[in-house]
Amino acid sequence: MNADQTLDATGLLCPLPVLKARKRLQALASGQTLHVMADDPAAIVDVPHFCAEAGHTLLSMDQSGTVQTYLIQKG
């Protein structure tokens, strides 16, 4: 699935990946998707929690080496 937007949050530490994802999602219409890349170990917990709290859907979560990728659908 192709995302409507991509956010490269690698190199950023908590809480920046989630804050930047929140800002990017605000610009999207409901139902559009955001692909997020992060390498902060805390993002594994923070991103799913953010999605649940903000009403977004975490469509996928994957890790390749130190980089995690998330596909978020705006609620």
> What are the catalytic residues?
14
Would you call 18 helix, strand, or coil by DSSP? helix
39, 66 contact by CB (below 8 A): yes
Measure the CA–CA gap between 73 and 36, rounded to whole angstroms: 11
